[in-house]
Amino acid sequence: MRGGSWPVDRPPPTSARVRSCQVPGRQWSSRSSFGALTPRQGRPLDPPGAALRVRPFALGAIAALLTLAVAPGEVDWPPAVGALALTVLIALSCTLVPWTRLPTWLQAAPPFAYFGVAGLLRAAAGGATSGYSPLIMLPFFWLALYGTPRLLAGATLVSASVLIAPILLVGAPEYPTTEWRRVIIWMSVLPPMGFTLRSLVQRVEALARDDALTGLLNRRAWDEELQQAVARARRFSEPLTVALLDLDHFKAYNDAHGHLAGDGLLRVLADTWRHRIREIDRLARYGGEEFGVVMPATTIGGAHVVVQRLLAAVPDGQTASAGIAEWVGDEDATALVERADQALYRAKREGRNRARSDPAAHAGEAD
């Protein structure tokens, strides 16, 4: 069934029988090329889907500003105008700033800025009695969904500052000392809710993106990563190469040793190969005994070096075949994978235990 600098080699597992291997850790759980935010959800302002991810928070901001304009009561207009201006600035930044060209940590700026909107609206509508304190939940839960524990801890401190600073700097009657009770309750409830939400998101994300047997990315995650890699390669005019690798005679191995041993082989293979790719490369279980590797900023020649390392590290005396294709700059992800697939067929036809690249895009390339 087919289903820069290079990494430092690590020895394959030394167990005599692969069926005794333990399931390796999740590929994405301990490392990320995205730095300050979580790997899958860590770039919420990147297309596609940025508008959908921003929409609930935009609606909350609009509702708050409308209630300020139509609800009865005296309004202090300078902070109200400031809140409106800051909201417009955040909205424009979310839609117009080229976030894909900027460091990931900057994507935390809009939610942190919205804490200022919450504080200004409280000041505009009478202080502690304004009813706008719940607005701090919007950026807080945004960071719970898309941020790291460090960012969420920062959001906890900023939330506390929004509630505490007016008591210390303005005081009664807008912010009486009785407001301390409200602050204590808020800060006793908000952080546990945020960190619990983040934990649940991580669990759901892992179930949706990880292959249960190997701990690698699954096919769905592979498709998403490849789409993003093609978009980056097109935007920055960088090389991109993909490889499909398929275990040779895997059915015969299962017949000889049993399906549990076959599962063990796949687990050991995944654990071995994950240590022979770079941090920016993405290894996935493509299907059955077939694996895929996305190699950003890599030409066909560099990809051959990596793939040969992988083929040389197949455990338990088994072999694998590989097909490699480099993005040509005018094709989508589906076409790129199809060319790698054809190259894999070629490697199988020529005797297996070898790597071949797509001849159509790289005529004369030495295999």
pLDDT value of residue 1: 42
pLDDT value of residue 360: 56
**CA–CA distance, 62 with 232 (Å, rounded to integer):** 33
DSSP string of 322-359? EEEEE--SS--HHHHHHHHHHHHHHHHHTTSSSEEE-T
Full-model pTM: 0.60
Domain ranges of the chain: 50-209, 213-357
CATH class of 213-357: alpha beta
Blockwise average pLDDT, block size 10, the chain, 367 residues: 35 36 32 37 76 82 81 80 91 88 87 93 88 90 89 94 94 91 93 91 82 92 91 91 96 94 96 94 94 96 95 95 94 94 96 87 45
Q: Which of 118, 160, 121 is nearest to 139 (CA)?
A: 118
pLDDT value of residue 13: 37
pLDDT value of residue 40: 44
pLDDT value of residue 6: 30
Taking the CA atoms of 257, 262, 266 and 271 in sequence, report the sign of the dihedral they define: negative
Phi/psi of residue 130, nearest 5 degrees = -70, -30
pLDDT value of residue 77: 86
Task: Give 290's strand partners.
Answer: 246, 287
pLDDT value of residue 359: 60
